[in-house]
Amino acid sequence: MSITVERLGSSFVAEVHGVDIENLSDADWTVLHRAYLENKILVIPDQDLSVHAFAALGARFGEVVRHPVAKFAHPDEPDVMMLSNDTSYGKPVGVKDAGSFWHSDRSYMQRTSNETMLYSVEIPDEGGDTYFADLEAAYEDLPDATKRRIGGLRYISHYRWTKDRDDPESRWSFMTPEERANTPPTDRPVVRIHPETGRKALFVFPGITTGVKGIVGMEEAESDALLEDLYGHLTQDKFQYRFKWGGPGTVLIWDNRCVMHKATTKQLSADKIRTLYRISTLGGVP
């Protein structure tokens, strides 16, 4: 069986066939990993994986890291988080919404996440798509003057920080004292250099989990204006790819160092059940 890789989006996202995830040879791993670095997002359909096999795939990429909010870990595989809007057992099977706003996983932590992987267990006949944006394409598309202006800038990120402290999604609403203590503010470069490819990406995010407080050393008004400009730029349709989950048995892998994403699960009605396994690997300090 030979591996085929077909580009789906204009600058990123590829679909992979012919890969035996449970018996991945070193040669196939090399092909898969190169395809991942080149395409930033891989879609691997038609899989039949146990939660343990999915966890093993995560471990092949790197050190698996648990989500800072622990209550929706899979009962048999604590490294795997459950995403689900299924409440038919009397309580939620998993977290319903892993982020209906643009973000990159763990961008607010000292050590960020390299890969995030999802595996579809149950997919509704419509809805629940996942959106992605290519942060390297967005960086490349900036005017040279903006590239020069933001080149050395850093910003402060604080998990679920928001100017609006009454926002029900802010970090104060549901985190334990320990979870809060584990997510202190951290500083990030506005432009991140990918440690494996050397490519540059815009690395700021409008989503609440990333809690971008402001550019270091810049007046608040100037910082807010610059961030708003960058968010407007990043979220243009031309950098996006809308991934439609075809059904169960699909593995999706993305590179948080150069891609941001958002879920649409909040828009799902109660009769449209969607359940996925989720894994993240530990990355470096940008």
Q: Which residues bind ligand SIN (CB under 6 A)?
A: 83, 98-99, 116, 130, 261, 263, 265, 278
Strand pairing report for 77-84 and 73-74: antiparallel
Min. distance of Cβ 29 from ligand SIN in angstroms? Answer: 24
Joined together, the tokens standing for residue 31 give 């092909």
Residue among 57 and 263 whose Cβ is closer to ligand SIN: 263
Residue among 83 and 258 whose Cβ is closer to ligand SIN: 83
- What are 202-205's contacts with CB under 8 Å, separation 24+? 202/135, 202/138, 202/139, 202/142, 202/150, 202/230, 202/233, 202/234, 203/104, 203/107, 203/135, 203/286, 204/155, 204/230, 204/231, 204/234, 205/102, 205/103, 205/104, 205/107, 205/231, 205/234, 205/260
Residue among 128 and 286 whose Cβ is closer to ligand SIN: 128
Number of Cβ atoms within 10 Å of the Cβ of 179: 17
Residue among 98 and 138 whose Cβ is closer to ligand SIN: 98
Q: Sign (positive/negative) of CA torsion 10, 283, 101, 58?
A: positive
Residues 247 and 55: their CA atoms lie apart, in Å, by 20
Joined together, the tokens standing for residue 164 give 């609006």
Min. distance of Cβ 20 from ligand SIN in angstroms? Answer: 25
Min. distance of Cβ 206 from ligand SIN in angstroms? Answer: 14
Residues 50 and 85: their CA atoms lie apart, in Å, by 20
Residue among 186 and 275 whose Cβ is closer to ligand SIN: 275
Residue among 98 and 226 whose Cβ is closer to ligand SIN: 98
Residue among 47 and 84 whose Cβ is closer to ligand SIN: 84
Min. distance of Cβ 179 from ligand SIN in angstroms? Answer: 17
Joined together, the tokens standing for residue 265 give 């699960």
Q: Where are the beta strands (DSSP E) in the chain?
A: 4-7, 14-17, 41-44, 64-65, 73-74, 77-84, 113-122, 130-134, 154-157, 186-189, 191-193, 200-202, 212-215, 240-243, 251-255, 259-263, 275-282
Residue among 32 and 81 whose Cβ is closer to ligand SIN: 81
